[in-house]
Each structure stands twice: as structure tokens, then as C-alpha cells.
Amino acid sequence: MAAHLDPLPAPTIKAQEICVLIVDDSAAQRQLLSAVLTRWGLRVMTAATAEEALMLCDSDAGSQIRIVISDWQMPGMDGPEFCRAFRSLRGDNFAYFILLTSRTDIGAKTLGLEAGADDFVTRPVDMSELRARIKTGRRILHMNEVLVHRNHEVQTTLAELQSLQEATNRDLAEARNLQRAFLPPRRHRAGGSDISLRLLTCEQIGGDLVGYFRVSDDEIALYSIDVSGHGIASALLTGRLAEQFSDRIPGRNIAFPACGGDALSPEKVMERLNDDMLREFTSDIYFTAVLAYVNLSTGAVRFCQAGHPHPIVCRANDGVERIGQGGPPVGLLPDAQFEVATTHLSEGDVLLAYSDGLTECMNTWGDMLEEEGLMNLVAQGDTDPESAADRIEIGLAEHTGIQGFEDDISMILLRFAPAVPAQIRAA
């Protein structure tokens, strides 16, 4: 929400609304000035000394004083001293202060200005000059009214915006909790294989999604999805996709035909999603994805890569390799062609699917981690999926340092161990 402040007309302070305080030890001078100012339509208050004037200014009536005309030479506290005390007493409640003086030297004026005076009138008082000074004071008072009014409007608008931001933050925090509720459990055992997943959003909500679902008695599906952007629209789409890939409600998973039967192959699922996106969305939003079916007994893997980073396999005995041939994103091109690729996992091999937030993590020098850096992290140490996910997350944090993550980060890892029939039935 953007606050728009329309130009305000300058408030008009009527003459009768301006109260002028005359401070002068000369009764004749007070009487003369009071008569003249009253004839000009101003309300007048008078005081014979600075001390009396300060007591008057500290009263309820004194809060109405907008212009002060004070003699410089007075018994006790003089004009500059009174001006300084008056400013201290009034604080931010501005009033225009005029000093009457017979002194014309620069030093005197400097002393008066430093004390807080706004203007000077030379004695003997020329009434036309005094009237001009008062008109100047009124213009400045008008400008002060505008500033006070504008400041109040700005403060009110800022308070409203802050309230809206706080409400939005509460909603986003709740949305983040809901988004995380879309995810299946972070750790899972399927047959003899272990699965671990992570989702780190760079803002309160994001556009990444990872998870798994059962395809058949022998196969489990792993998916990694990255929706364009990482704001509210992206999060809404991940919510829909999470529902489409969920196996909590039979018949709702997009991998299965509506009429029932065996699961569609990974590339057919992508074609179905692509058609749905182009048919139902008019915006430019799209997503990249990897959908992999892993046979829990044989280790055979068939997968579709749709504009997503290449999956990585950490071989138990043979190093790390990237797999897949790429493919178009989902939701951009009509009749996009998606292809299935295959690989094979042996016991102890780890399969990793991830979003590009990992490889595009930048350090303070602007250098990305890139695929090679990620493969080095995957190759280090224990192949337990949870430990490997921890290692990758720590490595990313060390690489970015104070830079932090600029994109959502998600990953899902599976360490393969051939399942026996009893394990598959229990999974």
C-alpha cells in the first residue's frame, strides 16, 4: 500500500485568533502598542517585566500567545534572556519573537538571534515597520501551521502503514506455518531407503516445494519444485502444487488418472501440469521441477527434469555425478515436450534434487557456489541424508557469510538401500 499525500492549502490564521504579548517596563509604551495592535484586529496581553511575562506564558491563557514583542532593556531579566527562557518554556509550541531595541550594531543582533529572537524593530518604533514585521510573523506562523499539520498527517499515515505492516507480517507468519504444513515429514523411511528434505525461505514465505509420495508398492516419487519469484503469488502456487502431489487424499494426486489406475510416468505428469498451468493461469508465473520415481527394490530411477537444476547422485564408491538432460519449465510453452531419463542407484548411493537457490548462493564477492561447489559438499563425509542435508546447509551459510540467502533453498535426498518385500509392505 502506498500512502499518497495531497497538497494542503496553507491554513489561514485570522487576525483575531492571534494573541500578541507585549513585554515592556514602560506603561506608556505598553498602552500605545496595545492600542495600535488592537486597532489592527489583534488580541493583546501585556506584562511589565520578563518575570511577569513568563508567569503569564506558563498559564492556560499563555498557551494562546503566537507573537511576542519584547523590549530589550528591562529591569531584572533583559530581552534576550527573556527570549531564551521563553523558548525553553514553550518547547515545540512555536511563537514569533520580536525584540524592540535602539541598538543597531551587528553584535546586538547576533546576540538576539542566538537567544532565539526572530526579528527586530528599532526604537523609536515606526508603526509601519512594526506592522510589516507582524505581517512577516503571520506568514511564518502560517507556514508553521502547515508544517505541523503535515507532520501530523505524516505521523498518522505512518502509524496506519505500520499497523497494516504488522497485520501483514502476522498473516505472512501464519502463511509460512501453513506452507510448511504442506510438506511431508522431514525424515522418512521408504523400504530400506532413507529420505530427508529441507526448505529454507529467504523471506517469510517462498516459492520452493519438496516432498515425496508413494507411486506403487515398489516405487516412491521424489519431487523438487521452484516457482518463479518467492512472494505471495509463488507461495499460493506452491500450496496448490503441494495438494496436487499429496497422497493424503486418494484420487487427488496429479500423478494418477482421475478414473484410477497406475501412476502416469514422470514426463506425462509434467505435460499434465503444463496444460493445467496454461489453461488456468493468465499471469507469467511458471515453475521448474524434477520428478523422480525410485524403485525401492532394484534402485532403478526414472525421472523428468523440467527446467530444474540437474539432480546429483553421490555414488557410494565412485564419486559424484550430475544426471539428466534438462527440459523446458512448466507453464511457459504450449505443447512443451518433456522427456524421461533413467539412472540406477546401488546400495549406499545418495540421490539429491534441489532448487537453484543452492548453486546460485553468492558470497560477499559476488561468487556463486555453482554446481561444482555443491557437488563438493555432497561428496564430503557421511551419506546419511539428514547429515548430508545438515552439511550442505552449513556449507551454504559459510559460503554466503553475512550476505545471507537471496533466494529460497530446498533439497530432498534419498540414500538407497534395497528393500525386502516385508519392508516395502511396511513402508
pLDDT at res. 423: 58
CA distances, 16 to each of 41, 42, 46, 53, 65 (Å): 6, 5, 16, 21, 12
What is the pTM assigned to this prediction? Answer: 0.65
Average pLDDT over residues 205-226: 91
Count of structural domains within the chain? 2
- Candidates 124, 138, 148; CA nearest to 29 is 124
283 and 387 part of one domain: yes
Q: How many other CB atoms sit within 10 Å of the CB of residue 272?
A: 17
Answer yes or no: do 208 and 326 share one domain. yes
Q: What are φ and ψ of residue 326, in 5° steps?
A: 85, -145
- What is the structure's pLDDT at 291? 97
Mean pLDDT over 311-325 rounds to 91
| Residue 102 domain boundaries | 15-151
Same domain, 228 and 377: yes
pLDDT, position 9: 46
Residue 410 sits in a domain whose CATH number is: 3.60.40.10
* Phi–psi pair at 422, nearest 5 degrees: -65, -35
Residues 251 and 200 placed together within one structural domain of the fold: yes
* 218 shares a domain with 76: no
**pLDDT over 60 (residue 6):** no
CB of 63 closer than 8 Å to CB of 89: no
* Mean pLDDT, residues 56-81: 91
pLDDT recorded at residue 181: 74
Cα distance between residue 72 and residue 98, in whole Å: 10
Residue 392 domain-assigned?
yes
Q: Is residue 176 part of a domain?
A: no
3-state secondary structure 92-120: CCCCEEEEEECCCCHHHHHHHHHHCCCEE
> Among 129, 151, 173, which residue terminates a domain?
151
Domain end (from 151, 174, 207): 151
Q: What mean pLDDT, rounded, does the chain reach?
A: 87
- Residue 236: how many CB atoms within 10 A of its CB? 16
In a domain, 147, yes or no: yes
Q: Which of the given ranges, 90-99, 248-257, 279-288, 336-345, has the highest pLDDT on average?
A: 336-345
- The pLDDT value recorded for residue 238 is 86
pLDDT (0 to 100) of residue 380: 83
Other CB atoms within 10 Å distance of the CB of residue 171: 13
Q: Mind listing the pLDDT tens digit for each residue in 174-187?
A: 766 776 777 889 99
- The confidence score (pLDDT) of residue 365 equals 86
**Does pLDDT of 251 surpass 80?**
no
pLDDT tier at 343, thresholds 50, 70, 90: very high
pLDDT at residue number 270: 96
As a whole number, mean pLDDT of residues 224-248 equals 85
Which of the two residues, 33 and 103, has the higher pLDDT score? 33
Same domain, 319 and 205: yes
- 261 with 335, same domain: the answer is yes
* 204 and 285, same domain (yes or no): yes
- 147 and 187: one domain? no
Nearest to 414 by CA among 292, 256, 253, 255: 292
- The mean-pLDDT minimum among 188-202, 339-353, 358-372, 412-426 falls in 412-426
Pair 241, 145 in one domain? no
In a domain, 195, yes or no: yes
229 belongs to a structural domain: yes
CATH of the domain at 72: 3.40.50.2300
Question: How confident is the model at residue 7, as a pLDDT?
Answer: 46
Asked if the structure places residue 157 within a domain, the reply is no
Choose from 249-258, 286-295, 318-327, 406-415 the range with maximum mean pLDDT. Answer: 286-295
Residue 47 corresponds to which cell in the numbers above?
506584562
Q: Domain ends where: 151, 175, 194?
A: 151
**376 inside domain:** yes
Identify whether residues 305 and 409 lie together within a single domain.
yes
Q: Is there a domain that residue 94 lies in?
A: yes
